[in-house]
Amino acid sequence: MSFRPRKQFGQHWLKSEKALNEIVKAAKISKSDRILEIGPGTGNLTRYLLPLAESVVAVEIDRDLCQNLAKSLGKTENFLLLQGDILTLNLEAQLENFSKFQNPNKVVANIPYNITGPILEKLLGKIAQPATKPYDLIVLLVQKEVAERLYAQPSTKAFGALSVKVQYLADCELIYSVPAKDFYPPPKVDSAVVRLHPQIRYLAENPKFLDSLVKLGFAEKRKMLRNNLKSVVERDRLTEILEQLEINPQVRAEDLSVPQWVELSNRLAVSATVET
Ligand code: SAH
């Protein structure tokens, strides 16, 4: 039986064996790994994961696909299929009676591109509230433009608020580029496999403040940072702090690296308390 891919669920089946192998290789799966897969679809990737891992729990929103998967993979003892929306499903509660699948330590998935941002937030948390039990490793196939933003370096075109938010929470690497023709049906955009290693290298003293600072800083990308931040800090004060940090006071938000954002946030949060 074949399934006509549904656009509203971002369904594009990955058919390239090479790309599937690259995803699996990037996840460095061992027999003790418990994997969470988002959107197994027809099970293309799932079939590669099952023989390597201790267990795979897959969350799929599409009822028809779930029925089909249950038929084809339902008897595999290290496979558990949950029908639902990854964004709203309470995974921990769902896994309560399935000890073999509890606390998955890696995520491996070809995700629906239309909800990439919310999925990243679900997996990593946000600056103000990082995931309490971070995954060891997350390997995702995402839209190429998004991949570029995830591993972008400061002062490059792709470096934006998403880069800072995700790089604060995880180390990000590009693994492999996947052309649109490797899917059925081909999406309008090219794709790339990225690997995220959740880890906070520079912890902000006031993460909530950093979160809003980043949002404000990037609000108008073409403006200088000091203009975007003028509601939080006086221009002269910011110039002084930037000079102390050996940062050109005329920088734009995209020129600051993650540690510089953290440092700036720490200094501003302190001076904000001192002044009030
Ligand atoms: N992994 C498969 C399919 C990828 S397409 C492959 O590589 O071929 C993306 C999959 O995510 C589809 O099966 C789609 O139905 C599913 N999906 C879309 N939105 C979802 C959501 N909110 N929660 C869980 N799965 C979702």
The CATH number for 207-268, chosen from 1.20.1050.10, 2.70.70.10, 1.10.8.100, 1.10.357.10, is 1.10.8.100
In sequence order, the 6+-apart residues with CB closer than 8 A to the CB of 75 are none
Closest-CA residue, ligand 1 atom 7, reads: 14
pLDDT tops 60 at residue 273: no
Domain residue spans of the chain: 7-198, 207-268
Q: Which amino acid is at 108?
A: V
What does the pLDDT read at residue 25? 98
> Quick check: 274 pLDDT over 60?
no
**What's the CA gap between 244 and 255, in Å, rounded?**
16
Instruction: Identify the weakest region by mean pLDDT among 4-8, 185-189, 215-219.
Output: 4-8
DSSP 4: P
Q: Which residue has the tokens 């891992």?
A: 53
257 CA from centroid of ligand 1 (Å): 33
> Is residue 85 in contact with ligand 1, taking CB distance under 6 Å?
yes
pLDDT, average across residues 243-267 = 96
Binding site membership of 45 for ligand 1 (Cβ less than 6 Å): yes
* β pairing state of 125-126 and 129-130: antiparallel
The third-level CATH classification (topology) of the domain covering 7-198 is Rossmann fold (3.40.50)
Q: Provide the annotated binding site for S-adenosyl-L-methionine.
A: 12, 14, 39, 60, 85, 110
